[in-house]
Copies of this chain bind each other. A is one copy, B any other.
């Protein structure tokens, strides 16, 4: 007989912009929030009875109220507050997952000084937080998405790009890739801001300086540095999507020279992913 083995519902793409004001100095928080709920909703599936399903308006109002109250704090803290609110609101919900993504705006420097109330958008990099709670246990996973990096030397050619006979096609005198990272905190009671800054710095400094022979080794080294530095982090997952480039065949145009021109190609995108925890 048919049996529901898993189910969830939710609302996604709730976008708010919170302007945090400290006197004349403003700070924008550009947030996108999603919710997933699990719980005692089998009658909705079996009988079409929607009891206990939070209306979209209610979910929006929860986000707006929480963004006002906690909007100046870290997104991890906002996620914890949203989980607690949802569980309080509706007893049928047994588990809540809140995802928050923050896009960054940079304070404009104009006329040689930082502007209090004018901003230009940052890169595609986003801060993320995923908070999951069943009312007793809570999990906080922080992350970074779409951090695009380029390293124009010092990175050994990946054997991934060698051809079948073992010869290198040399695609990797250059590394261009999109990195995502996520790390799990051992508790929800951590000063999330400084940790995030430290993790991001560890990622970038390792990728900038480490003489890795493979992408795998570079990612492992990053994870090792993070776990060694921060006891409150239980595990780290890193993924790198390499954007493929090919050195321009300049000989065919009769020009000799060093390999400083690359053609963007689109296929295939290589990916390496690793999760590192403590043994």
Contact = CB atoms under 8 A, between A and B. Distances in A.
A276 interface: yes
Contacts of A51: 159
Given A53-B159, A164-B61, A252-B61, A11 B270 contact: yes
A141 to B, nearest CB: 15
B153 A224 contact: no
A268 B265 CA distance: 10
B17 A269 contact: no
Contact of A269 (B13, B44, B204, B214): B13
Given A8-B273, A19-B174, A253-B61, A214 B268 contact: no
A147 interface: yes
Given A5-B277, A266-B265, A201 B150 contact: no
Given A26-B152, A162-B55, A245-B17, A278 B1 contact: yes
Interface string A138-163: 00000000011111111010111111
A176 B8 CA distance: 19
A13 B268 contact: yes
Given A7-B275, A44-B217, A105-B150, 12 more contacts: A2-B278, A3-B276, A9-B273, A15-B264, A17-B174, A45-B219, A68-B257, A106-B123, A110-B209, A117-B152, A120-B150, A266-B267
The 7 A-B residue pairs whose C-beta atoms are closest, nearest first, are: A48-B213, A50-B159, A121-B148, A15-B264, A48-B217, A3-B279, A11-B268
Nearest to A154: B117
A69 to B, nearest CB: 8
A91 interface: no
Interface in A11-64: 11-21, 26, 28, 36, 41, 44-51, 53-61, 64
Given A160-B55, A216-B9, A220-B46, A150 B208 contact: no
Contacts of A78: none
